Structure formats: C-alpha cells, structure tokens
Structure 1
Amino acid sequence: MKFLDLTWKGLNELNDEHQSLPTKNSMAYRDKTDAETTAVAVEEIDASHNLISKFHPKFICSFKHLIKLKVCSNCLSEIPAQLSNLTMLKELYVTNNRLTFLPPELCRLQLEVLNLSGNMFKVFPPVLCQMVQLKTLLMGGNGLREIPKHITNLIQLEVLYLGGNAIRFIPNEIGDMLSLNALSLCDNQLTAIPTSFSKLTNLKSLSLHNNVLHYLPREVLSLVSLAELSLRGNPLVARFAHDLAYDPPTLFEIASRSIALSGTNYTTSCLPPQLIQHLNSASKCPNPKCAGVYFEHKYKQIKFVDFCGKYRLPLMQYLCSPECISSGTSSAASSEYETEDEEERSNDIIRRVLLG
C-alpha cells in the first residue's frame, strides 16, 4: 500500500495548484509494495498538523483507491461534498479542526471508522445516522448536548466515544445498539443512566466518569460482558442520594395491585384488554419480606452492591412502598435485599472499577 505523508509541511490548502504530488523518489512516499507511485496507487494520506483551511475536491478525488485519510490538527471548517466520490474510503480522521456540520452527501461513503473529536459540533450531524457501515465513531470534545434517537440506525457500531461534550440525557433507544462493546460518555452532565443499558450485553467498557451520577440502575448487573467501569468524579463516589421520591399510587393502581395480589385468574375474566395488559405489566417488589407489586408508582431506593469484593456501588432499585424499608433496613445499610446469586455475579463480571 502506498502512503503519502504530508504532515508538518506548513500547507494552507490541499490543492494540486499549490501542492504538486511528490515524485516517485520523494521521501513523502513510503513504499509498502512495488507498485507505481501514482495518485491512483495511493491508499493512505496523512496531511495532519498543517494550516489547511480547505482542500480542493479535484485534488483529493484524484486518489481513486484511497482507503484512509487523515487531516487532523488543521483549520478546516468544512468537508467538501465531493469527498463522497471516494468510494473505497474506509477511515476518515478530522480531529482538532473547526467543523460545525457535515454535508449530507457523505452518507454515500462506506466508512467504518470516523473520528470527528475536537471540533465545534453543537448538534449531532444527521448524516452520521445514515452511515450504517460505521464500526467506530468518535465525537469527543465537541459541544454536543443531545444524542439523537436515530443513532440506533448504526447497527454495526462497536465503539462510540462521546466524552467531553455537554450531554445531559441519554435516550432509551441507545439500548438497542447491541453491537456496542465500548461506550464512553465521560465528562458530560449526565444525572442518570437509562435502564435500557441492560440490553447492551456485548458491552465490555463503559466510561461514565466526571458526570453528575448519584446512582446506577440495578440493571447494570445484566451487563454480563462488562469488564471495565469508570465512575470517578461522580457524586456517587463521595456521597449518595437521600430522600428519594415516592408518588402515592392512584386509585386505578391500588385496584390493580389488589387484583394482582388476590391471585385471581384475570386472564379468563371479562376485564377490558387494556386492563389485562396493565395487570401483566406488574413488577414484583424486590424485598423478599414483601409480596407486593407495583406499576408506575413505586418507591426509589439506593441498594449497595459489592463489586470486585472491594467497592460498594449504589444501584437504584424500586420498592412497592416506603413501608418496605421500615423494618430496620435503610438505604445506607448492607444490601439485605441482595441475593447471593446477584452478589456473586456482580463480583465475577466487573474486573476493573475506576472510582478514583
């Protein structure tokens, strides 16, 4: 493979009028085969660490077999739409530039790796959700405030880095990205993690440090492949949530609880289908001393779980009412409700917990 090295050349533009191609014997090329050194033969270009503010489409599109392009640490404020003509391009690195948007034509690229970290994106570029071939997407150090629900279109995505933004909320839909094995949401403004994370069974690394998390959902125990969890710089490391909320159940929920607890076989009754569906959605209270159930209204409590036999992490769990903890078990006490199986599993799956 032919590699064209244009790093640290003081270039202002990538333009064939300003920067002619190096000759066959130029040291700018690193021969990896005996093929002719021509634009068509070049498969990798690195033009990082220059002063490039734009590159001429005619110049860059002359590299028909280009697979990897790096234009990091320049002054680019836009990427030409004609870049989509590079049908063989698989990796694109445009870190530390001044990009604020991407042309929609880029959806025609078959990119597998895209690094846009260190730019000036305030909104997640819509075209990214159409790049269904992506396996690695890095967008750290921008100004993103939201993650679009349509990010789930990236069904092949394995690595997603969104650290160093201003994200406050994670959509539940992110739990449908089943191919993810590394997810970084560090250095944002997150206050909660959705329970849908439990579906990310292939996730091996989860970085949540430097957010505003007071607890983790108990569903994190379902992440059977998780080997590294980073939590430092969150309130949950130093202090834990208190006075958690409880909304009294409505009359409709009280009636539903009564039916669920009575043991009545309501599936064969003449109840409306909507009510039967609601009754089927009942969740059992995790307190082993309580036989209660709950629906929408429940009592939030912190439950501590051992990880690695050393750290006790606060996980959120839901009880049917505050009375379930009135028998001497408080949220700051040992995890009375935790089963031996849960505790053993939590010690096995998490190999590295980063709290400090």
Structure 2
Amino acid sequence: MEFHEGAAGPGDGVLDFSRLNLNSLSVDTISEERRRDTKQLYLNYNRLASLPSSVCCFSNLEFLDISNNGLSVICEDITRLTMLKILIAKNNRLDEFSLPKDFGSLRLEVLNFSGNRFEEVPLQCTKLRRLQSLSLGGNRLKSIPAEIGNLLSLELLYLGGNLISAIPPELANLPHLSYLVLCDNRIQSVPPQFTRLNSLRSLSLHNNLLTYLPREILSLVHLQELSLRGNPLVVRFVKEMTYDPPSLLELAGRTVKSRNVPYFPCDLPSHLLHYLDLASKCPNPKCAGVYFDSCVRHIKFVDFCGKYRLPLMHYLCSPECTSPCSSNPQSDAESEDENSVPADRLQRVLLG
C-alpha cells in the first residue's frame, strides 16, 4: 500500500496516510524498523469507521491525527500506545461511549475531541494526569463534571459551542490553567472560586447568559483577555433586597469574628470551629463586619481599564452596608476606587 512521508522528510518519523480514503490500515509493506521509528501518524480525512488495530504496531508513536473520519469508536488497542502524547480526533462521531475503559491510562498531553457528539465529558478523560490541553468544543455537553478538577497539569480548556449552563467550582482547582474558553454556551454565572485561578491569562465567556460577574474576577492579576460580548449584562444599577435575617448561630459567629473574641480548639466542638472558619469579610470598606450564610446580593458597576463599566456581584453582610440605590450607576461605581482594574492590566476586554 502506498504511503506518503510527512513534510519533515524521510527519516524524521512521520507517516502521512491522510486523504487516501482508507478503509483500513495495512502495515505489511512497512518495515518493522520504520514502524518502530515512526513518531507521527496522520490518518485524517479518510473514511475510517473505526480505528484500525494495526495502528498499535507503531509502538513509539507520539502524535496521532484521526480527524475528519466517520469514527464512532476508538478501539481498546490504543491503550498499547504508551508513548502517545498528542491525539487529535476532531470532527468524527464519537460520544461518551466511544472510548475504551482504560483510556485514562494513556500519557496524553494534548487531546482534541472537538466537533463530535459528546453529551458528557468522558470520565476517562479526567484521569489523564499529564494532560495539558483538552478541547471538546462543538459537542453537545450539558455540564462540566466536578472531576475536571483532577487535571492538575491542564493549561488550556476549550469547551466553547456546547449546551453548558453552569460552571462547577472544582474548575478553580486547576493551578496551571492559562486559557479557558467557555463561549457560546448557556452559562448564567461565574463561581467566585475563580479567584484561585492564579495562572489564568485569557477567559472567553462571550455569547452566554451572564448578567453579572463575581467581584472576585478582579483578583485575577494575570488576566489579559476577557471576552464578554453577547451577554445580557445589566445596563443599569440593580440591587436585590431579598434578605433573610441571620440565625442565632450566625449572630454569635459574627460577634466572635468581628470583635476578635479569642477561642481555642479545646473550647468549642469541631463543627463550630469549622463554621467559624467559613466567615466571609464584608467587601464594603466602611464595614468591618463578617457574614456566614445570611447576606445581601448587591450588584455594583466598577471601572474596567478606565473604559468599561461592568456589573460585579457583591455579597454584603446586611442592607445597611450599602448606600441607597443610585440612579446613576457611574457615580456609584466611582465611589469605590479599589474595585477598578488598572488600565495596563487587561489588554483586551471585548464587550460588544
């Protein structure tokens, strides 16, 4: 069977079988030495209904492209490719039932499943501990599993063009995440835990259902690009006055925390010690109070880069912590200069 050397030239470990309309891959005409030396294999743009088991004869394969085929299943034999680092499988017919049980045992660093039929993120993918880039754009995902937080090496996560309505707080457990793409979904809010994404440089949230952002977004000091266009971000000052009175437990906890009453582990039951550790400081600079479960949702416009006014959600300890509802959102935004984002930090803010 005819095969083409890759652009790198003979001897560079590249075999290109792309665009040959293959139904199967025969390796009989390829020497054992050549199979052993091949590190990149291109099988894209063919008519493969399933991944040929003969692919596993390339024992040192590091890069495999099986995009733009008719694949509905990936065979168990792929787990024998112990050196495989990059798997590109875009634009096929794969879903959450298409992967072998032990797929998570691979040493993949880059995985691209965009343009398939996934309705759920396969849990096998959340076991790829070395994974640095995961792309599942243009699928039918309705949610992001909490197990996504297990991918501690992840630097890029692309989930644009799905049906996702919520972001799990576990996503904030990814210490190296630099590029997060969640555009073209149905997301209504961003979890405040995003403040822990210390490496985040680019956040794409355009074409969702956002009406506000958590104020914690301001703490992302490395964020350079923020895309928010196509969201129904509020255009006037909004204040939600639903407020449940604090419980006796919370009132006692507030007193202990706000007055710095000393206590020690031997003084209180473990569940009360844990409860006191959950105290949140009121963001109002004129208030020194804290809150636990009872708080007021308060949207305030703040200055982004001296050019944009964005609504950020605050959680205040009581209705008395904020000034009366202002008819001028701009003047209200200017009342808290500490909430503004320096103009030299964000390089691109896309709102419209």
Query: Normalization by structure 1: what TM-score?
Result: 0.86
| Alignment-mate amino acid for residue 352 of structure 1 | R
Aligned to 2:135: 138
| Alignment-mate amino acid for residue 10 of structure 1 | N
2:209 aligned with 1:199: no
**Mean Cα displacement is larger for which, 273-282 or 133-142?**
273-282
User: Residues 145-224 of structure 1: matches in 2 within 5 Å?
Assistant: 145-224=142-221
Shift of the alpha carbon at 1:241? 5.3
Deviations 1:255-302 (A, max 9, x none): 4334545x3624269963444553454333222333433221111111
Give the superposed CA RMSD: 2.6
Is contact 2:237–2:300 with CA below 8 Å preserved after alignment?
no
Deviations 1:318-344 (A, max 9, x none): 11222333446569342255244x42x
Is contact 1:205–1:229 with CA below 8 Å preserved after alignment?
yes
Shift of the alpha carbon at 1:228? 0.5
Aligned to 1:33: none
Aligned to 2:249: 252
Q: Distance in 1 between matches of 2:328 and 2:214?
A: 14
User: Residues 274-285 of structure 1: matches in 2 within 5 Å?
Assistant: 274-275=271-272, 277-285=274-282
| Alignment-mate amino acid for residue 105 of structure 2 | R
2:343 aligned with 1:347: yes
Distance 1:239 1:279, change over 3 A: same
Distance 1:105 1:269, change over 3 A: closer
| Alignment-mate amino acid for residue 81 of structure 1 | E
| Alignment-mate amino acid for residue 353 of structure 1 | V
Is contact 1:304–1:314 with CA below 8 Å preserved after alignment?
yes
Aligned to 1:10: 21
Unaligned runs of 5+ in 2: 1-11
Q: Distance in 2 between matches of 1:5 and 1:234?
A: 43
Q: Distance in 2 between matches of 1:337 and 1:283?
A: 22
Shift of the alpha carbon at 1:181? 0.6
Q: Distance in 2 between matches of 1:331 and 1:199?
A: 32
Partner-residue secondary structure (3-state), 2:39:
strand
Partner-residue secondary structure (3-state), 1:78:
coil
Shift of the alpha carbon at 1:95? 0.3
Q: Distance in 2 between matches of 1:256 and 1:55?
A: 60
Aligned to 1:85: 80
Q: Distance in 2 between matches of 1:330 and 1:297?
A: 26
Distance 1:268 1:243, change over 3 A: closer
Partner-residue secondary structure (3-state), 1:278:
helix
User: Residues 1-356 of structure 1: matches in 2 within 5 Å?
Assistant: 1-11=12-22, 13-16=23-26, 21=29, 38-57=34-53, 59-100=54-95, 101=97, 102-236=99-233, 243=240, 245-261=242-258, 263=259, 265-267=261-263, 272-273=268-269, 274-275=271-272, 277-327=274-324, 329=326, 332=329, 333-335=331-333, 338-340=336-338, 342-343=339-340, 345-356=341-352
Aligned to 1:32: none
Shift of the alpha carbon at 1:305? 1.7
**Mean Cα displacement is larger for which, 151-160 or 39-48?**
39-48
Deviations 1:163-214 (A, max 9, x none): 1111112111111100111111111111111111101101111111111111
Paired residues in the alignment total: 337
Shift of the alpha carbon at 1:311? 0.6
Partner-residue secondary structure (3-state), 1:61:
helix
Partner-residue secondary structure (3-state), 1:229:
strand
Shift of the alpha carbon at 1:242? 5.3
Distance 1:259 1:39, change over 3 A: closer
Partner-residue secondary structure (3-state), 2:180:
strand
Partner-residue secondary structure (3-state), 1:317:
strand
Is contact 2:302–2:334 with CA below 8 Å preserved after alignment?
no
| Alignment-mate amino acid for residue 60 of structure 2 | H
Q: Distance in 2 between matches of 1:104 and 1:305?
A: 48
Shift of the alpha carbon at 1:74? 0.8
Task: Give the % identical residues.
Answer: 47
Q: Distance in 1 between matches of 2:298 and 2:20?
A: 59
Distance 1:87 1:239, change over 3 A: farther
Q: Distance in 1 between matches of 2:251 and 2:140?
A: 45
Deviations 1:59-92 (A, max 9, x none): 2112122111111111000001101111111111
| Alignment-mate amino acid for residue 160 of structure 1 | L
| Alignment-mate amino acid for residue 103 of structure 1 | P
Is contact 2:302–2:333 with CA below 8 Å preserved after alignment?
yes
Is contact 1:284–1:293 with CA below 8 Å preserved after alignment?
yes
Shift of the alpha carbon at 1:44? 1.2
Shift of the alpha carbon at 1:158? 0.7
Q: Distance in 2 between matches of 1:270 and 1:135?
A: 45
Q: Distance in 2 between matches of 1:281 and 1:235?
A: 32
**Mean Cα displacement is larger for which, 83-92 or 236-245?**
236-245
Is contact 1:305–1:346 with CA below 8 Å preserved after alignment?
no
Is contact 1:227–1:349 with CA below 8 Å preserved after alignment?
yes
**Mean Cα displacement is larger for which, 227-236 or 323-332?**
323-332
Q: Distance in 1 between matches of 2:16 and 2:290?
A: 65
Is contact 1:300–1:317 with CA below 8 Å preserved after alignment?
yes
Shift of the alpha carbon at 1:250? 2.4
Distance 1:77 1:269, change over 3 A: closer
Distance 1:47 1:257, change over 3 A: same
Query: Normalization by structure 2: what TM-score?
Result: 0.87
